[in-house]
Chains A and B, each alone.
Chain A
Amino acid sequence: MNPQSLLLILASTGVVTIVAGFLEERFKHRNLSGYLAFAGTALAFALSFKLEPDTYNLARGAPLPAAELRVDPLSKFLGALFLAVFLAAIAHSFSYMREEGESGYYTLTVLMASGLVGALFSNDLFTFFCFWELASVSGYALVGYRWWYWEPAEAAFKYLLACTVGALTTLYAASLLYGVAGTTNLDALRTALSQVGGSRAFAAVTALLIVGLGTTAAVVPFHTWLPDAHPAAPSPISAVLSGVVVNVPLYMLARLLLTVLPRETGVSYALLALGSLSSIVGNAAALVQLDAKRFLAYSTIANVGYMLVGLGACYRAEAAGAAGVAVDALTGVFVQLVNHAVSKSLLFLCVGNAVRETGSRLFTSLEGYGRRMPATGALSLVALLNLAGIPPAAGYYGKALITAGLAYNLQDPAALAALAALEANFALAAGYYAYFAFRAFRERGRALREAPLSMLAPEAALAAFVAASSVYPSLLVEGVRAGVKALLGSP
């Protein structure tokens, strides 16, 4: 199985949903395009398990220049995971978007999935940019999908402006690398750059890449689009934005910094500083939110911060020659990424259930939804426990591994400060997740109807993944560790 076929399936599903849209109008059938989108994504999800780790060219016959895809164990696992989150979001939309979900909605969602999977598998900076823009353009349109309200229009424009600048900054860095090495292929870049050796010019390229990919991943000074875009989008799209979209640039950043670019001493400090800043600002801003989805959006920023700190810890350990610690830290980053992707999208979908019932995103009107809608409440609790990282939950292991990666050598005051900030943030986050649970289960609020089964079933599937990874955490951690070792090329 090769990734081109996977992308082809997703892209043709997009086309099929457009056709289905015309049929829908003709036959007055509501969700036809949604079911087709689900079927296509499910097929891609099933086939993603059969991908064979190798490099592929996007064109089958004559190889295109600068269009290479690469599947490694880690990206294969992440690809399957992202498609699973998309499946849950599409299934959730059947009921959530019943009134508004025209075929265009599903077309855009499937195109976004294909863009993100393509960006994840791309082994070339320019291929990455093209797939990323495909995903982003669909994302902008989906955030602004309910254009008849003022909020989505404003949020989508802000999202577009920030993320396009971010993507173009990345592309500018790619053009500089092309100037040095004559290629944008990551494997060829690695060989070419190792011959050129380190120079101050690469510090500028690295900085541009951190800024560009950091903007699309919502790292703090560049995060302003995220807390607007997440609440304004329909809930299944918020789930995808938070669970998948911010993770793909992080994965790319990890690959570029750790396997392609020459080492710079300042990078680990920059990553630790930006990561700590993201987690502090994300958590602090989450505390004062009145809007439940905005609250979750800020907590996403904090989680991106944790992952960035882990990345910084990995970079630092590798520079110091502690390969085992570096593997640990990067494993922590990706375990955290997986847990955050699954449980944050689960929580967004659950809050979506309640928002659909109450018609408001404010905490005051959502209060008590956990009691009135017991199934939704129970599923939210699973997500909250995992996000807070209370030990039996798998969320704990990601945070523990990041901490371990940072704590192995505390001679450096910067690492000590980052560690202190990280631990304080974990505690703060656990505190506000507990507060969220408290408000959700408070004996208050008006009677609400439980969400329909078609919304609960995809949430239950995500919750089942959380439960399974919590019962057998070693399976998740060791699986990710094997992928990370393959990525770093360490034994």
Chain B
Amino acid sequence: MYCIASKRNLIKLVMGLEIITTSVNLSFMGMGLRENGVDSLAQMYVALNMAVSAAVLALALGFVALLYRHYGTLDASKIARLRW
């Protein structure tokens, strides 16, 4: 969350997104912890969430590449022509 709020580099923003995804996965794992390993339901959640986040990540990096082409920079504060 801190990463999303404070970083200016678009790639770092995408990395922040990934950290949040990982933390959610970790939370599922922690919640699914039983005496003899992790609950199968939690494992399924995590596996599916990884697949979903891979799709989102691919698209996000695609947009970052496009933005770099349009603006010639990865600085989020310079890519702010849309206001209001």
- Seen from chain A, the residues whose Cβ lies within 8 Å of a Cβ on chain B are 65-66, 126, 129-130, 133, 136-137, 140-141, 144, 147, 150-151, 153-158, 160-161, 164-165, 168, 171-172, 175-176, 178-179, 182-184, 227-228, 232, 285, 288-289, 294
Contact of B49 with A by CB under 8 A: yes
Q: A160-B63, A161-B17, A165-B4 in contact; A172/B24 too (CB < 8 A)?
A: yes
Number of A-B contacts (CB under 8 A): 100
The answer to whether A126 touches B56 (Cβ under 8 A) is: no
Complex Cα–Cα for A294 and B56 (A): 26
Chain B: interface size category: 35 or more
**Within the complex, what minimum Cβ distance (angstroms) separates B80 from chain A?**
8
Complex Cα–Cα for A150 and B78 (A): 13
Specify which of A157, A179, A183, A288 is in contact with B84 (CB 8 Å cutoff).
A288
Complex Cα–Cα for A153 and B60 (A): 10
Specify which of B31, B55, B59, B67 is in contact with A176 (CB 8 Å cutoff).
B31
**Within the complex, what minimum Cβ distance (angstroms) separates A177 from chain B?**
9
The answer to whether B20 touches A154 (Cβ under 8 A) is: no
Q: Which 6 A-B pairs have the closest CB atoms?
A: A179-B31, A157-B63, A150-B70, A153-B66, A175-B27, A175-B28
**Within the complex, what minimum Cβ distance (angstroms) separates A144 from chain B?**
6
Interface flags, B57-78, vs A, CB<8A=1, else 0: 0011001101100110000000
The answer to whether A66 touches B27 (Cβ under 8 A) is: no
Q: Which residues of B contact A156 (CB under 8 A)?
A: 63
Which among A151, A161, A227 has the highest number of chain B CB atoms within 10 Å? A161
The answer to whether A66 touches B4 (Cβ under 8 A) is: no
Complex Cα–Cα for A294 and B83 (A): 11
Complex Cα–Cα for A248 and B58 (A): 25
Q: Which residues of A contact B44 (CB under 8 A)?
A: 65-66
Q: Which residues of A contact B20 (CB under 8 A)?
A: 165, 168
Complex Cα–Cα for A165 and B23 (A): 12
- Who on chain B is nearest to A140 by CB? B59
By secondary structure, the B interface counts as helix
If A130-B52, A136-B56, A156-B63 are given as contacts, then 16 extra A-B residue pairs at C-beta distance below 8 Å, sorted by A number, are A66-B45, A129-B52, A133-B52, A144-B63, A157-B10, A157-B67, A158-B82, A164-B60, A165-B1, A165-B20, A168-B17, A172-B27, A178-B45, A179-B32, A232-B82, A288-B84
The answer to whether A175 touches B24 (Cβ under 8 A) is: yes
Q: Which residues of B contact A165 (CB under 8 A)?
A: 1, 4, 17, 20
- Who on chain A is nearest to B26 by CB? A175
Q: A137-B55, A168-B21 in contact; A176/B63 too (CB < 8 A)?
A: no
- Who on chain B is nearest to A151 by CB? B82
**Selected A-B contacts with CB under 8 Å, 29 pairs:** A65-B40, A66-B41, A66-B44, A129-B52, A140-B63, A144-B63, A150-B71, A153-B63, A153-B66, A153-B70, A154-B70, A154-B79, A154-B82, A157-B63, A160-B63, A161-B4, A164-B17, A165-B1, A165-B4, A168-B20, A168-B21, A178-B42, A179-B31, A183-B41, A227-B84, A232-B82, A285-B84, A288-B84, A294-B84
Q: Which residues of B contact A160 (CB under 8 A)?
A: 56, 59-60, 63
Q: Which residues of B contact A137 (CB under 8 A)?
A: 55-56, 59
- Who on chain B is nearest to A177 by CB? B31
The answer to whether A144 touches B66 (Cβ under 8 A) is: yes
Complex Cα–Cα for A155 and B21 (A): 22
Complex Cα–Cα for A465 and B28 (A): 44
The answer to whether B66 touches A147 (Cβ under 8 A) is: yes
The answer to whether A133 touches B55 (Cβ under 8 A) is: yes
Complex Cα–Cα for A232 and B81 (A): 12
**Within the complex, what minimum Cβ distance (angstroms) separates A377 from chain B?**
27
Q: Which residues of A contact B71 (CB under 8 A)?
A: 150
The answer to whether B64 touches A157 (Cβ under 8 A) is: yes
**Within the complex, what minimum Cβ distance (angstroms) separates B25 from chain A?**
9
- Who on chain B is nearest to A160 by CB? B60
- Who on chain A is nearest to B25 by CB? A175
Q: Which residues of A contact B82 (CB under 8 A)?
A: 151, 154-155, 158, 228, 232
Specify which of A147, A151, A157, A285 is in contact with B60 (CB 8 Å cutoff).
A157
- Who on chain A is nearest to B51 by CB? A130
Interface residues of B in 7-33 (CB under 8 A from A): 10, 13, 17, 20-21, 23-24, 27-28, 30-32
Specify which of A130, A150, A178 is in contact with B28 (CB 8 Å cutoff).
A178
Q: Which residues of B contact A133 (CB under 8 A)?
A: 52, 55-56
Q: A130-B52, A133-B55, A164-B17 in contact; A178/B63 too (CB < 8 A)?
A: no
- Who on chain A is nearest to B49 by CB? A171
Q: Which residues of A contact B4 (CB under 8 A)?
A: 161, 165
Q: A133-B52, A153-B67, A288-B84 in contact; A161/B13 too (CB < 8 A)?
A: yes
Complex Cα–Cα for A151 and B44 (A): 38
